[in-house]
Structure 1
Amino acid sequence: MHRTEFKVRDYECDMQGIVNNAVYFNYLEHARHEFLHSRQIDFAALARAKVNLVVVRAEMDYKASLTSGDQFYVTTQYQPVSRLRFGFKQQVWRSADQKLMLEALITGTALNEAGKPFLPPELQLLLD
């Protein structure tokens, strides 16, 4: 399991003083990129090689709200879904009290230069 640390910035909050729901997508995406990087998979290098990792489904269960200044972390685990799809099970935890704030399953695939789904060797290694 990979862990990425964050701190809520003022501009990520909405008029209610809580993190806007859409901002969590950014947190989760950054944590997935850090997860891949920790396993020597360079998201940008894959894109330059015309291998595009794309999200095809996002399931998010909001449990509680983060507010400005909260320190938190996102855990990320790779989870195979099918021959051509992969998942990332992710959780957002508030650091101060270890409270679970969000659970997510982000499902993706890789598209080759022709736009066809496939599982590149770099991601196949995660299955081993």
Structure 2
Amino acid sequence: MPSSTFSIILTVRDYECDFQGIVNNAVYMNYLEHARHEFVKSRGLDVVKLAQENINLVLVKAEIEYRASLRSGDTFRVSVHMEPISRVRFLFVQQIHRQSDGKLIIDACMTGASIDEYGKPKAFDEITALLVRDSCQPDPEA
């Protein structure tokens, strides 16, 4: 059962922009990762604590379509929708929309996996619960 959409609102900082005055392409990865971490936290899990318990969530594939650019001062919404692929793999479907006009900036599919301390894929009860839980309410603005 897919989880509900989760989102956060952020604002572009000056130092995230390149010499063209637009957000550097690599910075979008930080926005997407921050939203994934906040999503997991909203589900009652802490990625740092999980790592200390040898439960690691890693990104194994990143697909990003850059549709438009953000500029310094732009406020934007990063949405996250998680879909299970298997007991150890999951897909984060993510989008970034500019708040002022709703324009789609980024369309992304990020594939993650749970691995043990040896780097081997492993299913963990905490992660399985995250994949099937539907505890956050759908975001009406996402």
Q: Where does residue 46 of structure 1 map in the other structure?
A: 50
Q: Is 1:73 equivalent to 2:77 in the alignment?
A: yes
Distance (whole Å) between structure 2 residues aligned to residue 119 and residue 30 of structure 1: 23
Corresponding letter in the other structure for 1:93: H
Same amino acid, percent of matched pairs: 53
Q: Where does residue 59 of structure 1 map in the other structure?
A: 63
Deviation string for 1:47-93 (max 9, x for gaps)? 11011111100000011000000000100011112342111000001
Q: Where does residue 125 of structure 1 map in the other structure?
A: 129
Deviation string for 1:65-122 (max 9, x for gaps)? 0000000010001111234211100000100111110010100111112221012212
Q: Where does residue 31 of structure 1 map in the other structure?
A: 35
Q: Where does residue 9 of structure 2 map in the other structure?
A: 5
User: Structure 2: which 5+ runs fail to align?
Assistant: 133-142
Distance (whole Å) between structure 1 residues aligned to residue 83 and residue 74 of structure 2: 28
Distance (whole Å) between structure 1 residues aligned to residue 101 and residue 121 of structure 2: 41
Distance (whole Å) between structure 1 residues aligned to residue 123 and residue 39 of structure 2: 17
Q: Is 106-115 or 33-42 further displaced after alignment?
A: 106-115
More strand by share: 1
Q: Which runs of 4+ in 1 moved over 6 A?
A: none
The question of whether the paired residues in 2 share the 8 Å contact of 1:78 and 1:126 is answered with no
Distance (whole Å) between structure 2 residues aligned to residue 91 and residue 117 of structure 1: 27
Q: Where does residue 111 of structure 1 map in the other structure?
A: 115
Q: How high is the TM-score relative to the length of structure 1? A: 0.96
Corresponding letter in the other structure for 1:14: D
The number of residues matched between the two structures is 128
For the aligned residue pairs, the C-alpha RMSD in angstroms reads 1.0
User: Structure 1: which 5+ runs fail to align?
Assistant: none
Distance (whole Å) between structure 1 residues aligned to residue 131 and residue 114 of structure 2: 15
